[in-house]
């Protein structure tokens, strides 16, 4: 029988036994030592993680967090032979044309990244913005992340996922739409624009990825050369996780799938290092928010499959990475993000029609600064709403 795409409601539900097992593992954590006053300098801070794990075991209310997430409309859609979990929220009543928008997350998160921003986009009038700026919003979990299926064969790269998203949006009833994302989601959104320009009316990104340039060095501006040098230095000091993901992700997956404390350390370090928190992770995320993200990984068992996507993306040919996006592109380069490209690079690699630098927020801007991020999307996509009625 043909694999006919269809949309099925999806309910978030956790068996009590899974939570009991999690708490038992947390209480039995075998802790490493750490040099005195090491703090975050060597990775995740031991004292903070002990505190967080203690709360995870004996204070964190996953059922309440799950119920809050369940207030979003969840579905499963079969595309490309995989069951894809998607939050699909339709716009509130509006006088103007509704623009469908697919939002793609990155690592180490899931649809969680956009959980705060969905209502701001679907019902802006209820949040002090113009009701005419409402979107229909689709937030899928990448394959191997969250509640989406894990590929059983080779991991999928961003190009393949962009193809799945084009099919997903067709199944959801959207022949034309906007795309937005950050981190891996920036790559997926880019390939949506590159490979489906007849369907993507405009694309918005919060980064441009790590630079790949094979042309003459003298053609680069001084700002571009400085940026490429700075990203190389960043990779030396902060890129060990990526090297592991691209080369031997399965080795790390054994420990991270078996130890919730180890999983928390791996993810928490990135929330602290990549957010605009000034070194204090709880300036941007409450313990409940941190643990909701990590618990999604734990309960779905997806840390290994999420890391494997890095290996697939690492094998994308350089010719693909060098393609220029001609679809109208917007960039919001948040001041607290880790790798911030200059305007010259954005204009070199894309038809950049709008570039802004929001004053606060980091790598997880939709979660750190949901109101600011929502306004960035409203402002960028506003001129392209007319395309929905053309």
pLDDT digits (tens, 9 = 90+) for 166-189: 999 999 999 999 999 999 999 999
Q: Which two tokens stand for residue 327?
A: 């679809």
| Phi/psi of residue 275, nearest 5 degrees | -90, 165
Percent of the chain residues topping a pLDDT of 70: 98
What is the mean predicted confidence (pLDDT) over 34-63?
A: 97
Answer whether residue 96 shows pLDDT above 90: no
Give catalytic status of residue 310 as yes or no. Answer: yes
What is the mean predicted confidence (pLDDT) over 227-247?
A: 95
Instruction: Summarize pLDDT for 305-315 with one digit per residue, the tens.
Output: 999 999 999 99
Task: Indicate the pairing of strand 82-89 with strand 99-104.
Answer: unpaired
Rounded-to-10 torsion of CA 207, 352, 344, 242? 20
CATH superfamily of 7-25+42-388: Alpha/Beta hydrolase fold, catalytic domain (3.40.50.1820)
Among the options 183, 207, 276, 337, which is catalytic? Answer: 183
Instruction: Say what the pLDDT of residue 364 is.
Output: 98
Answer whether residue 385 shows pLDDT above 70: yes
The DSSP code for 369 is S
Tell me the C-alpha distance between 128 and 19, whole Å.
Answer: 39
Instruction: Say what the pLDDT of residue 387 is.
Output: 75
Instruction: Say what the pLDDT of residue 389 is.
Output: 61
Give catalytic status of residue 6 as yes or no. Answer: no
Answer whether residue 6 shows pLDDT above 90: no
pLDDT band at 386 (very low <50, low <70, confident <90, very high): confident
Give catalytic status of residue 191 as yes or no. Answer: no
Instruction: Say what the pLDDT of residue 330 is.
Output: 98
Tell me the C-alpha distance between 261 and 226, whole Å.
Answer: 38
Answer whether residue 161 shows pLDDT above 60: yes
Instruction: Say what the pLDDT of residue 95 is.
Output: 64
Among the options 105, 196, 204, 363, which is catalytic? Answer: 363
For the chain, the domains span 7-25+42-388
What pTM did the predictor assign?
Answer: 0.96
Tell me the C-alpha distance between 241 and 246, whole Å.
Answer: 9
Answer whether residue 42 shows pLDDT above 50: yes
Q: Which two tokens stand for residue 104?
A: 């793609």
Are 82 and 151 contacting, i.e. CB atoms less than 8 angstroms apart?
A: yes
pLDDT band at 215 (very low <50, low <70, confident <90, very high): confident
pLDDT band at 1 (very low <50, low <70, confident <90, very high): very low
Answer whether residue 94 shows pLDDT above 90: no
Tell me the C-alpha distance between 93 and 216, whole Å.
Answer: 52
Among the options 310, 337, 373, 384, which is catalytic? Answer: 310
Tell me the C-alpha distance between 203 and 137, whole Å.
Answer: 14
Tell me the C-alpha distance between 41 and 193, whole Å.
Answer: 39
Tell me the C-alpha distance between 93 and 98, whole Å.
Answer: 9
User: How does the average pLDDT of the chain come out, rounded?
Assistant: 96
Instruction: Summarize pLDDT for 256-275 with one digit per residue, the tens.
Output: 999 999 999 999 999 999 99
């Amino acid at each position: 029988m043909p694999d006919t795409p269809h949309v099925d409601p999806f309910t978030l539900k956790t068996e009590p036994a899974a939570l009991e097992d999690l708490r038992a593992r947390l209480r039995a954590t075998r802790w490493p030592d750490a040099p005195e006053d090491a703090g975050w300098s060597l990775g995740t801070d031991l004292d903070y993680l002990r505190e967080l794990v203690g709360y995870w075991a004996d204070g964190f209310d996953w059922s309440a967090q799950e119920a809050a997430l369940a207030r979003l409309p969840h579905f499963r859609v079969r595309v490309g032979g995989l069951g894809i979990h998607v939050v699909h929220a339709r716009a509130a009543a509006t006088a103007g044309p509704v623009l469908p928008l697919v939002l793609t997350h990155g690592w180490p998160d899931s649809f969680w990244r956009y959980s705060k921003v969905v209502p701001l986009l679907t019902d802006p009038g209820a949040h002090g913005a113009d009701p005419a700026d409402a979107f229909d919003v689709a937030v899928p979990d990448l394959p191997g992340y969250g509640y989406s299926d894990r590929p059983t064969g080779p991991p999928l790269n961003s190009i393949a996922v962009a193809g799945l998203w084009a099919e997903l949006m067709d199944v959801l009833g959207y022949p034309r739409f906007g795309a937005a994302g950050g981190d891996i989601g920036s790559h997926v959104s880019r390939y949506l624009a590159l490979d489906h320009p007849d369907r993507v009316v405009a694309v918005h990104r919060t980064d441009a990825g790590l630079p790949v340039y094979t042309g003459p060095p003298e053609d680069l501006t001084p700002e571009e050369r400085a940026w490429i040098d700075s990203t190389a230095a960043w990779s030396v000091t902060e890129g060990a996780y990526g090297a592991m993901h691209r080369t031997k992700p399965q080795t790390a997956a054994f420990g991270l799938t078996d130890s919730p404390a180890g999983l928390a350390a791996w993810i928490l370090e990135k929330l602290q290092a990549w957010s605009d928190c000034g070194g204090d992770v709880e300036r941007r995320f409450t313990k409940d928010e941190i643990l909701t993200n990590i618990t999604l990984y734990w309960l779905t068992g997806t840390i290994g499959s999420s890391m494997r996507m890095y290996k697939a993306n690492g094998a994308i040919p350089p010719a693909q990475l060098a393609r220029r996006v001609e679809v109208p592109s917007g960039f919001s380069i948040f001041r607290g993000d880790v790798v911030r490209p200059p305007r010259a690079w954005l204009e070199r690699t894309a038809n950049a029609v709008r570039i802004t630098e929001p004053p606060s927020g980091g790598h997880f801007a939709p979660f750190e600064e949901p109101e600011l991020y929502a306004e960035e999307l409203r402002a960028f996509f506003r001129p392209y709403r007319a395309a929905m009625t053309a």
